[in-house]
Amino acid sequence: KDGKEFDHTQWIVVKDLVNKKLSYRTYKDLNIHTIDLMEEISKLNSKKKIIPMVGAI
């Protein structure tokens, strides 16, 4: 309204380095989602794996 532009972060991330977990939320989905990185790594094979971010833009 006054000619100024505003920017905002589209998501927030918290990293638990001890337990190897990554938690995030987006402004479209305010629920906190957690990815257990060790669990995901144990599922890996030679193929590339994409972990969808629920509520992402």
Quick: pLDDT tens for 12-54. Answer: 999 999 999 999 998 888 999 999 999 888 887 766 667 777 6
Question: Is residue 18 included in any domain, yes or no?
Answer: yes
pTM: 0.63
Residue 6 inside a domain? The answer is yes
Do the domain assignments include residue 57?
Answer: no
pLDDT band at 56 (very low <50, low <70, confident <90, very high): low
In this prediction, residue 52 carries a pLDDT of 75
| Separation of alpha carbons 18 and 9, rounded Å | 25
Q: Provide the domain limits for residue 30.
A: 1-36
Residue 55 falls within a domain, yes or no? Answer: no
55's CB contacts (< 8 A; 6+ apart) are: 25, 26, 28, 29, 31, 33
Question: Would the pLDDT of 4 be above 60?
Answer: yes
Number of compact structural domains in the chain: 1
